């Protein structure tokens, strides 16, 4: 995680944005007491939104938890794409 001030960010915006997009760094720009902005790559943002969607309902959460437990126990379910 990188942190900087707004004035330093302005001076070297390209370098900061390159680090965020190429190295998947999270950048926090401090804007004063208890105020700031977080910059993440589009790829990371999309991954967060996908996770949020997957966990958006209790049923999805339960299915994911059950699948994780099955994998930990060595249980597998293999289906062909043509199976229903």
Tell me: do 29 and 47 sit in the same domain: no
Residues 47 and 30 in one domain: no
pTM metric for this prediction? 0.66
> Residue 77: its pLDDT value, please?
73
Pairing of strands 2-5, 27-30: parallel
| Residues 25-71 pLDDT 10s | 999 999 888 889 999 999 999 999 998 988 888 898 888 888 889 88
2-5: strand order across its sheet: 2-5, 27-30, 36-39
Would you state the pLDDT for residue 63?
Answer: 86
Whether 83 is covered by a domain: the verdict is: no
- What is the pLDDT, as a whole number, of residue 33? 83
Q: Is residue 80 part of a domain?
A: no
- Report d(CA 13, CA 41) in Å as an integer: 14
**Could you list the residue range(s) of the whole structural domain that residue 17 is in?**
2-40
Separation of alpha carbons 48 and 54, rounded Å: 10
Give whichever of 19-23, 62-66, 76-80 has the largest mean pLDDT. Answer: 19-23
Alpha helix (H) residue ranges in the chain = 6-11, 13-23, 42-54, 58-72
């Amino acid at each position: 995680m990188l942190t900087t001030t707004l004035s330093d960010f302005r001076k070297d915006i390209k370098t900061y944005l390159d680090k965020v997009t190429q190295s998947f760094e999270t950048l926090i720009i401090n804007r004063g007491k208890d105020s700031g902005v977080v910059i993440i790559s589009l790829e990371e943002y999309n991954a967060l939104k996908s996770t949020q969607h997957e966990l958006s309902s209790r049923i999805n959460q339960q299915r994911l938890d059950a699948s994780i437990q099955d994998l930990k126990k060595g249980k597998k379910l293999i289906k062909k794409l043509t199976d229903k």
